[in-house]
Amino acid sequence: MKAHIKTIGLYNGKAANILKTCALLLERYDGEVPRDRAALEALPGVGRKTANVILNTAFGEPTIAVDTHIFRVANRTGLAPGKTVRAVEEGLLAATPEEFRHDAHHWLILHGRYVCTARKPRCWACPIRDLCAYPDKSEVN
């Protein structure tokens, strides 16, 4: 297992959690991934964010997972400001029309990873610059 995921951070712990999760899925759910938030969050290494990703991408539920990129983008832009991940998640759910909720977290992550980056946001190249509330927008350097 480790060899397959060794390019990602904390791969030792993640590999161990994946193996434990596989055993539990066989033991409790006949090898199926449950479509249930509480059941998902009871699996090793699965918190609210991961449960949201699974519910959204595997089961098509209108959830929005909030990672560090989405948390930053939501606060900077003013789209869904909040001090906690949960507050941002709730703000994004309220602000995102249902038809876009299936892909919203992918778009927000990509925007945060490649445009609205943590240290030097690329505001000069940002397609939503005119809509963004961030007061310290960067210019081309």
Which of residues 43, 54, 104, 116 is near ligand SF4 by CB under 6 A? Answer: 116
Q: Of 49 and 72, which CB lies nearer to ligand SF4 in the complex structure?
A: 72
Least distance CB 103 / ligand SF4 (angstroms): 18
Long-range contacts of 33-37 (CB under 8 A, 24+ apart): 33/58, 35/59, 35/61
d(CA 73, CA 109): 8
Residue 104 CB neighbour total at 10 angstroms: 21
Least distance CB 51 / ligand SF4 (angstroms): 27
Question: Using CB under 6 A as the criterion, which residues of the chain lie in contact with ligand SF4 when the complex forms?
Answer: 76-77, 115-116, 121-123, 126, 128-129, 132, 134, 137
